[in-house]
Structure 1
Amino acid sequence: MMDVRPEAKSPMSEAEEMRQDRNTLNGTFKLEKNTIYSALDRRKRFAVPRSLPTNSEARFVASVQRISDNEHLCVANLITLKKLITSCSCVINIPGGSKENPMFHPELYKVIAGSIDLENLRFINTRFIYKLYRDPRCFVFKEYNTWTNNLGYIELRSPFHNSFFLGFVSYSISEPKYIHHLYKYFGNQDYDEGGSSFCATYGWGDKTSKANGTTEDTHSKTLQKARIQFLKSSDCLSKFWRSEELSDHFSFEFQDIICAVCTAEDFQWKDRGIPLICGGKLLGIGTVATNNANLIFFQKLQIYQILAFTSIETGDSNASESYNKSCLICHSIIIFIFIKPYIIIKFFFFN
């Protein structure tokens, strides 16, 4: 079983982020620095507007924010009331540097959930981050401008409270069931680009027009819903990569990446970690290919990794206590079954 380990990060300059530099932290694993997506052809546009989800529809979607200024950094999704799944690119590149706090500390960040409106949140909707984890295989292909094994995980100091407006996402709890559900949609012509059916994703991405006519990436105060359709690997490469040489050597399928088009042009880099929802279940974690582009790379889930993260192996005291109680009951029943004949014999023949 793969070890999902805590992640730490030192602040990086833009130049450092542009390099695929690997640093060993605590002798446990290596980091791949951020890179800027720039090799995408954004000529193709989609006219279908975004819509607003209901509170109950996206009750599992959360915003990862910096405590000091409430800045939205990326999207995470509740898989339990205390643990979330996001992208590795979120966990590795979450900003942390300042003169006052030069090193990254998880306690400088928070997660808010339970409302589609970031301005309409109470204190009970806020939880502080305890630990950050990521797939230790995660890194960025700089030459292809995309991430692989792009999964990250967040553990909170205390759990949220389940309600009509807040809960965790549904996902398959075994790899065969996950694959079966995934291919009901991915590879189905109705869900391909131009088809009649859509999956969904949610994010806070937005852009603001400036007086000089340019636009600036910001985040919306209200959660946005966008429709998703899939692109075949060959179509994705030919439509969005300018270099045919790169296209000939990269395989989305080999990297467990789903290439998809999004109806929202305003989704942006701070929407990394957005969910792919099909048929009410979580099927992938997405990263927007470039600022405000409508191309999203969804990383397929690693079910065994999620189960390991949410199990007693991560130190979940509630799960551990429940597990110990169930083991005690099971062992007691087994012992009773074995000694029952001896009790009966002693009662009837020795009394």
Structure 2
Amino acid sequence: MSFDELQKKTAIVIALFSITTLVFMLHHTLMKQFAIAEVAYAKEEALSGTSFALTEREVDAKQSPYDLCIPVPEGTHYEDFHIENHYFTKKLVVRIHTGRDDFYRKHAVFCNSSKVKKSFGQKEEKELTLSFSLNRVYDCDADLTDGMISLRFSPVAGSNSHLVLLDPSAKPGTDAQTSLLLAQKILNLSEPGKDSVRFFLTRMGEDAPTDREVAAFINETGADRYLCLAVEKELQNVDSQEQANAESQTAGAQKQEAQTAASQKQDGQEGEGCTVQVRALYSDGYYIRNYGNVAFANTMEEALSHEAGFEALGLSADPDPSSLLHHLKIHGAQVELGADCLEQETIKASLHKNKKQEEILNRAAAALYEGLMQSYEQAEN
């Protein structure tokens, strides 16, 4: 091969490489992938602004891999959009930081009508909201390309080997805020895309779904673990099938005082001891062969006892025959944590207690996460 031929071939290779690089860069300049926020249960709020129906056109499934295509007003940037997947209420919400609503009164959205049930726009002072009601619980991913937000929907059911629903209790007698904080810490320990187990929360704020809505979510998604988390000031070590009498309450209080004093002495912290007790409730309303609900509840309590070092008060059958836990047909348990240093009102008064609570919740979350992983291993043995 002559020197001139070698130069020509080298020039061709360099040109092809430059063109490929340019196309790749141009593609990623024109297409950006949105991060979609997952939102748990939220009550429907009254419309405060001006609402209007969106004009819908059927997406051409033969030409487009997307299920929903939303045109973008000229001059609107990637950063102006915020997309939320409200998985509990089966809604997709697109928030656009613009006061313009005339664009969507004139331009149609393209959707797969078998997945998108209805849609509407909501005009606020500085924000425009587009809401889409979906027929199922979906995972979503979205791209911004060619002046269009393009979304694909895939059912949550079957997307992972296992699915855990964490239900931070908001019932009277429990600390709803701390229960939610514990659930969020467990969720944060998971690695989406890497773990075969996926976690969902029933709520992320004060609003909580009804038992019927939770049951419907479990049935549709194929969740195979349900764990209710209830943080309380104090747990009574009594049989859940009977009411505690005055004598047992007095004995429990004396025991608590003795344990607290021992903890204070051991920690060397004057007035800052904290004994954490744990109890697990199981459902005896549905039988699961081999590794059943009693075994699952026991795994949860043992994890908190052995891994986190909490005092176990034992297992109890759920005393409420009308409860959600009692009627579930999957592995379900309610874990109750009791300690006065876990209460939010107490924490605000002391920086030390705030640090103590953080430590306790971190230990509890790590133990429960590990216990949930162990429950799948034990069920397979």
TM range (shorter): under 0.3
Q: Which has the higher helix share?
A: 2
Q: Larger RCO: Structure 1 or Structure 2 (Cα < 8 Å, ≥ 6 residues apart)? A: 1
TM-score (norm 1): 0.20
Q: Larger radius of gyration, structure 1 or 2?
A: 2
TM-score, length basis structure 2: 0.18
